[in-house]
Amino acid sequence: MIDLHLHTTASDGTLRPADLVAHAAAAGITTLSVTDHDTTAGLAEARGEADRLGLRFISGIEITAVEDGRDTHILGYFVDAAGEAFAGFLAGQRQDRVRRVREMAERLEALGAPIDAGPLVASGLDHGRSIGRPHVAAALVARGHVRTHDEAFERYLDTGQPAFVPRSGASAAQVIDVIHQAGGVAALAHPGPSRSDRLIPGLAASGLDAIEVRHSDHDEAAEARYRALAATLGLAVSGGSDFHGEASGRSRLLGTVFITADDLAGLEARRR
């Protein structure tokens, strides 16, 4: 089984990289990619455990681009995490995440739902870890301002809610370029829940390599639509669970969403 979309504690997953790989192996996954938000800090540990367990490991990343003021997630596969330009770009992305968490904390304070942002910001400045809204949601739950992660997003953190702070940063075309410069292939993540269909033809013209056809938030109709669109535009197919850990407040299961060996071969053929 092939799952190319997984998160660890290097970003907003709840399992350490080695534990995630062990859980994936137990769920029957044989090829995997770790795709943390704007960081490659989890890759070395995950690769070590995958090697130990005899799994195929593909280095990955999920980069947040900003398109028309909205977040657009771009996945990168086969990236060389050691490249200086790539590492510098990602450090800038994480810096903006810290700024955003600080501003969200200020808004929450003004809204009467203060969180202790100090430790969170410190972890965002440490060892390549990337922080974001799921960490703020966890802090809101811990302080008793909301009961669940979902309630934190619904009341405060979702786009348009009172503690939402827009991001600033690279466009999707720039992110695709950064991924290519790092030797990777670029896939548009979860276009269904991101409602990014209208961006796809333009991104294809900007060098996008693939569409994430299979995802936990895509039903069969969405999958069929994106598979057809990929074929029409000459794009490869990627996919995975987007698992963040059982305790992450997001109900996704390991070993339930995967792509075929043919899909992976098509993705790999886009490497240059």
CB of 12 to ligand AMP, least distance (A): 5
214 binds, among ligand AMP, Fe ion, Zn ion, none (CB under 5 to 8 A by kind): none
Q: Which is nearer to ligand AMP, 12 or 270 (CB)?
A: 12
Q: Which residue has the tokens 């039903």?
A: 219
Which DSSP string do the residues of 98-144 spell out, in sequence order? Answer: HHHHHHHHHHHHHTT----HHHHHHHHTSTT----HHHHHHHHHHTT
Binding-site partner at residue 14 among ligand AMP, Fe ion, Zn ion, none, CB < 5 to 8 Å by type: none
**What is the closest distance, in whole angstroms, from the C-beta atom of residue 169 to Fe ion in the complex?**
15
Minimum CB–partner distance for residue 234 and Zn ion (Å)? 29
Check binding of 73 to Fe ion (CB under 5 A).
yes
Contact set for Zn ion, span 9-28 (CB under 5 A)? 12
Q: Contact between 96 and ligand AMP (CB under 6 A)? A: no
Q: Looking at 82-90, 111-119, 126-134, 204-212, which segment touches ligand AMP (CB under 6 A)?
A: 126-134
Residues touching ligand AMP: how many (CB under 6 A)?
Answer: 13
Is the Cβ–Cβ distance between 267 and 236 less than 8 Å?
A: yes
Q: Do 204 and 240 contact (CB within 8 A), yes or no?
A: no
Q: Which of residues 50-89 bind ligand AMP (CB under 6 A)?
A: 64, 71
Question: b or e along 238-258 (b: 16 or more beta carbons within 10 Å of the residue's beta carbon)?
Answer: bbbbbbbbeebbbebebeebb
- Looking at 242, 243, 249, 263, which residue binds Fe ion (CB under 5 A)? 242
Instruction: Compute the 3-state secondary structure of the chain and give helix, strand, coil in percent, each to the nearest 5.
Output: 45, 15, 40
Residues of this chain, 181-200, that bind Fe ion according to CB under 5 A: 189
Q: Which does 150 bind (CB under 5 to 8 A by kind): Zn ion, ligand AMP, Fe ion, none?
A: ligand AMP
